[in-house]
Amino acid sequence: MAQTKTIYTCQSCGAQSPKWLGKCSACNEWNTYVEEIVEKKQSTGKLSVQISGNQPITLENIEMARTQRISVGIEEFNRVLGGGIVPGSLILLGGDPGIGKSTLALQLALGLNGKKILYISGEESLQQIKLRAERLSNAKSNCLFLSETSLEHIIAQSEQAKPELLIIDSIQTISTELIESSPGSVGQVRECTSAILKFAKKNHVAVVLIGHITKEGSLAGPKVLEHMVDTVLQFEGDTNYMYRILRSNKNRFGSTNELGIFEMRSDGLREITNPSEQLISKVNVDVSGTAIAATVEGVRPFLIEIQALVSSAAYGTPQRSSTGFDLRRLNMLLAVLEKRAGFKLIAKDVFLNIAGGLKINDPATDLAVICSILSSNIDIAINHKICFAGEVGLTGEIRAVSRIEQRIAEAAKLGFSRIYVPTLNKGFDASKFKIDIVKVSRVEEVFKTIFA
């Protein structure tokens, strides 16, 4: 007879403890342990070995099956996945509440013509799904919809329908009868994902799972969940802005450097094919405190506008605020400005903003950041036809950046007249670009050239 016992599992890292702990000893997170009831089967004391199932073979005897990816109707989604959805793969899509995960999944289901799709929602009723589909102006589709939270019913309906793509919104609402814990717990999420993974691999069905995230921004549930799936996608953005970014944190069938950019509108998500024109303001009047940076995300180059505001500290203690840019890196650049260039900003407030609500981690934006800060400090505008690409080191040198030719080509395509690049970037033909390329090696050279 099976014995039941209670264990406590950390929702952050999956560590287990026989009693409740306020702080996890493995990941040092607070209040993450939840109670789980497990059954322990009694052992017969005999070890039975049966040779069954798959047999080991050599590489020469493995037959390669050319699986064609499922190309969805959203090109930005295809770009992030590496060309489309691989049949039999498991994709986990996470993001903040209200960011547009369900809208993206529904657009994905309605945009696939000629494919059999099963959309399962555990959060919305069928009437709510239809209202959302009518808002997307694409209510006519052969996609099948089901509102269900029981894992056993979902597997049974999927085996009967035999879809080519299965979408589940969301994995935290699905529960199985094998575990007595509530939906969304560590055990339920782990067991449900394991059963769905087994169904997907056995029937060669692609599955898209929508997952919730914690307040820290990581995917909710045990960490093993991200190891079980083939692809982890992060849908991020500021709800106060219209732009959304789809990133790939893990991809077994493609690169993790790609990203897709969308614009949230009243009729759904619209793809941004040329982000440079959307992220740069169309104001032709030169204003102090702004600089254009040539950045690269994945293999896509685009230009962004960096805005800075430097003012006297009103209460004696200077503030350092950053939106879309790493605050620690901003403090480092301010220290470089003071130590290497001689600009005293210790008694001034510095505010930095990446226009459009984007989050940029490219170090090549350093040069544009310090130029925008200095422009605001001395109140001298930078010509809006000038852009920058360069990483700033602690000694004040301009370090080389990757994909410099793509950055220069993007600036030339958008009509910029001059671009500042590191001197250490060599090996490219500057004559083939219709733009003035200025090579600099230190921050002092840039300041003397621009603000002379």
- Residue 97 assigned as binding residue: yes
Q: Please check whether residues 253 and 297 belong to one and the same domain.
A: no
Which residues, other chains included, contact 281 with Cβ-Cβ below 8 Å and sequence gap of 6+?
290, 305, 355
Please check whether residue 207 lies inside any domain of the structure.
yes
Residue 355 has pLDDT above 90, yes or no: no
Beta bridge partners of 37: 6
Which of 256, 273, 290 marks a domain boundary? 273
CA distance 423 to 433: 17
Please check whether residue 55 lies inside any domain of the structure.
no
Residue 19 has pLDDT above 80, yes or no: yes
- Residue 98 assigned as binding residue: yes
Please check whether residue 60 lies inside any domain of the structure.
no
Please check whether residue 444 lies inside any domain of the structure.
yes
Residue 305: the pLDDT is: 92
Q: Please check whether residues 281 and 269 belong to one and the same domain.
A: no
- Residue 183 assigned as binding residue: no
Please check whether residue 210 lies inside any domain of the structure.
yes
Q: Please check whether residues 172 and 117 belong to one and the same domain.
A: yes
Gyration radius of the chain over CA positions: 27
Mean pLDDT throughout 291-320? 88
Give the number of domains in the chain: 3
- Contact by Cβ (8 Å): 126, 145: yes
Q: Please check whether residues 79 and 144 belong to one and the same domain.
A: yes
Please check whether residue 186 lies inside any domain of the structure.
yes
Q: How confident is the model at residue 299 (pLDDT cuts 50, 70, 90)?
A: confident
Q: Please check whether residues 341 and 419 belong to one and the same domain.
A: yes
- For residues 82 and 1, the model is more confident at 82
Q: What is the mean pLDDT of the chain?
A: 86
**pLDDT tens digits along 423-437:** 999 888 888 888 999
Domain extent for 296: 277-450
Q: How many CA atoms lie within 13 A of 412 on its CB side?
A: 14
Q: Please check whether residues 26 and 80 belong to one and the same domain.
A: no
Residue 240: the pLDDT is: 73
Q: Please check whether residues 306 and 334 belong to one and the same domain.
A: yes
- Contact by Cβ (8 Å): 324, 359: yes
Q: How many residues does the chain have?
A: 452
CA distance 162 to 452: 70
Q: Please check whether residues 36 and 128 belong to one and the same domain.
A: no
> What are the two backbone dihedrals, phi and then psi, of residue 150, each rounded to the nearest 5 degrees?
-90, 125
- For residues 247 and 34, the model is more confident at 247
Which of 273, 290, 323 marks a domain boundary? 273
Which residues, other chains included, contact 269 with Cβ-Cβ below 8 Å and sequence gap of 6+?
74, 100, 103, 104, 107, 244, 262, 263
CA distance 94 to 242: 18
Residue 39: the pLDDT is: 64
CA distance 366 to 397: 11
Mean pLDDT throughout 25-43? 75
Please check whether residue 149 lies inside any domain of the structure.
yes
Q: Please check whether residues 287 and 423 belong to one and the same domain.
A: yes
User: In percent, how much of the chain has pLDDT > 70?
Assistant: 92
Q: If we measure between CA atoms, which residue out of 358, 240, 247 comes closest to residue 295?
A: 358
> What are the two backbone dihedrals, phi and then psi, of residue 353, each rounded to the nearest 5 degrees?
-145, 135
Q: Please check whether residues 267 and 307 belong to one and the same domain.
A: no
CB atoms within 10 A of CB 311: 13
- Residue 100 assigned as binding residue: yes
**pLDDT tens digits along 89-145:** 999 999 888 889 999 999 999 888 888 999 999 989 999 999 888 888 765 678 899
- Residue 114 assigned as binding residue: no
> b/e map of 158-174 (b: 16 or more CB within 10 Å)?
beeeebbbbbbbbbbbb
- Contact by Cβ (8 Å): 52, 94: no
Q: Please check whether residues 266 and 284 belong to one and the same domain.
A: no
Mean pLDDT throughout 403-427? 91
CA distances from 364 to 14, 229, 260, 320 (A): 37, 33, 20, 21
> Which letter does DSSP use for residue 8 in this model?
E
- Contact by Cβ (8 Å): 90, 229: yes
CATH number, domain with residue 415: 3.30.230.10
Q: How confident is the model at residue 347 (pLDDT cuts 50, 70, 90)?
A: confident
CATH number, domain with residue 197: 3.40.50.300
CA distance 407 to 410: 5
First to last CA, the chain: 86
CA distance 396 to 367: 10
Q: If we measure between CA atoms, which residue out of 142, 151, 200, 158 comes closest to residue 172?
A: 151
Q: Please check whether residues 324 and 211 belong to one and the same domain.
A: no
The full DSSP string for 264-284 is EETTEEEE-S-HHHHHS----
The model carries a pTM of 0.77
**pLDDT tens digits along 177-208:** 888 777 887 788 888 999 999 999 999 999 99
Q: How confident is the model at residue 1 (pLDDT cuts 50, 70, 90)?
A: very low
**pLDDT tens digits along 358-407:** 888 899 999 999 999 999 999 999 988 999 999 999 999 999 999 999 99
- Residue 276 assigned as binding residue: no
For the stretch 273-278, contacts whose Cβ atoms lie closer than 8 Å and that sit 24 or more positions apart, written own/partner, are: 273/75, 274/302, 275/300, 275/302, 276/302, 276/303, 276/304, 276/410, 276/414, 277/414, 278/243, 278/356
Q: How confident is the model at residue 313 (pLDDT cuts 50, 70, 90)?
A: confident
**pLDDT tens digits along 38-70:** 666 555 555 555 555 678 889 888 877 667 888
- Contact by Cβ (8 Å): 262, 248: no
CA distances from 334 to 368, 392, 420 (A): 13, 11, 20
CB atoms within 10 A of CB 113: 9
Please check whether residue 344 lies inside any domain of the structure.
yes
- Residue 422 assigned as binding residue: no
- Contact by Cβ (8 Å): 364, 391: yes
Residue 275: the pLDDT is: 81
Please name the residue that has the structure tokens 């609500």: 357
Q: Which two tokens stand for residue 370?
A: 């310090």
Residue 451: the pLDDT is: 82
Residue 417: the pLDDT is: 92
Tell me the torsion sign for CA atoms 46, 179, 171, 357: negative
